[in-house]
Amino acid sequence: MEFNFLGRAFKGDKVIWCIFIALCIISLLEVFSATSTIAYRQQNHWAPILRHSAFLLIGFAVVMFLQRIPSRFFSILLLGLPISAILLVITMFMGEDVNGAQRWLGIGAFTIQPSEFAKISAIGFVAFFLSKMKPDNESWIFKTLIIGVAVLCLLIAPENLSTACLLFGVCFLMMFIGQVSIKKLGTVALAGIAAIVLLLGSLTMLPDDIADKYLPGRLATWKNRIERHSGEGKISINDVNEDGSIAYKITDENYQVSHAKIAIANGGVIGLPGSGTERDFLPQAYSDFIFAIILEEMGLLGGLFTLMLYVVLMIRCGTLASKCEKKFPRYLILGAGLILTIQALANMAVAVNLIPVTGQPLPLVSRGGTSTIITCAYFGIILACSSKLNDSDHEDVDESIANVDFETFDNTTENETA
Q: Which residue has the higher pLDDT, 151 or 227?
A: 151
Neighbouring C-beta atoms of residue 123, cutoff 10 Å: 26
Cβ(380)–Cβ(67) under 8 Å?
Answer: yes
Q: Which residues have C-beta within 8 Å of that of residue 135, sequence separation ≥ 6?
A: none
DSSP-derived secondary structure letter, 55: H
Mean pLDDT of 191-202: 81
List, for residues 68-113, the tens digit of each pLDDT value: 899 889 999 999 999 999 999 988 888 777 666 667 787 766 788 8
Lowest mean pLDDT among 107-121, 229-243, 309-323: 229-243
Whole-number pLDDT of residue 240: 61
Whole-number pLDDT of residue 12: 83
Neighbouring C-beta atoms of residue 249, cutoff 10 Å: 8
Q: What is the rounded (10 degree) CA torsion for 126, 193, 341, 127?
A: 10
The residues facing 110 across adjacent strands are 107
Whole-number pLDDT of residue 100: 61
- Segment (H or E) for 101: strand 101-107
- Segment (H or E) for 105: strand 101-107
Closest C-alpha to 292, from 320, 256, 327: 256
Mean pLDDT of 23-28: 94
Whole-number pLDDT of residue 255: 78
Highest mean pLDDT among 43-47, 104-108, 156-160, 340-344: 340-344
Number of H helices, E strands in the chain: 17, 3
Q: Report the percentage of the chain scoring pLDDT > 70.
A: 76
For residue 244, is pLDDT > 80? no
List, for residues 215-234, the tens digit of each pLDDT value: 555 666 666 666 666 655 45
For residue 402, is pLDDT > 60? no
SS3 sequence of 147-189: HHHHHHHHHHCCCCHHHHHHHHHHHHHHHHHCCCCHHHHHHHH
Neighbouring C-beta atoms of residue 129, cutoff 10 Å: 22
Distance between CA 216 and CA 91 in Å, rounded? 16
pLDDT-derived band at 208 (thresholds 50, 70, 90) equals low
Whole-number pLDDT of residue 321: 93
Lowest mean pLDDT among 30-39, 223-232, 294-303: 223-232
Mean pLDDT of the chain: 81
Q: Report the percentage of the chain scoring pLDDT > 90.
A: 40
DSSP string computed for 285-323: TTTTTHHHHHHHHHHHHHHHHHHHHHHHHHHHHHHHHHH
- Predicted TM-score (pTM) of the model is 0.84
For residue 412, is pLDDT > 50? no
List, for residues 263-279, the tens digit of each pLDDT value: 888 888 888 887 778 88
Distance between CA 371 and CA 113 in Å, rounded? 8
CA atoms within 13 A on the CB side of 30: 33
Which ranges of 157-281 does DSSP label H, i.e. alpha helix? 161-177, 182-205, 208-214, 217-231, 255-267
Lowest mean pLDDT among 20-24, 122-126, 232-236, 330-334: 232-236
Neighbouring C-beta atoms of residue 225, cutoff 10 Å: 17
Provide φ and ψ at 98, rounded to 5°.
-130, 120
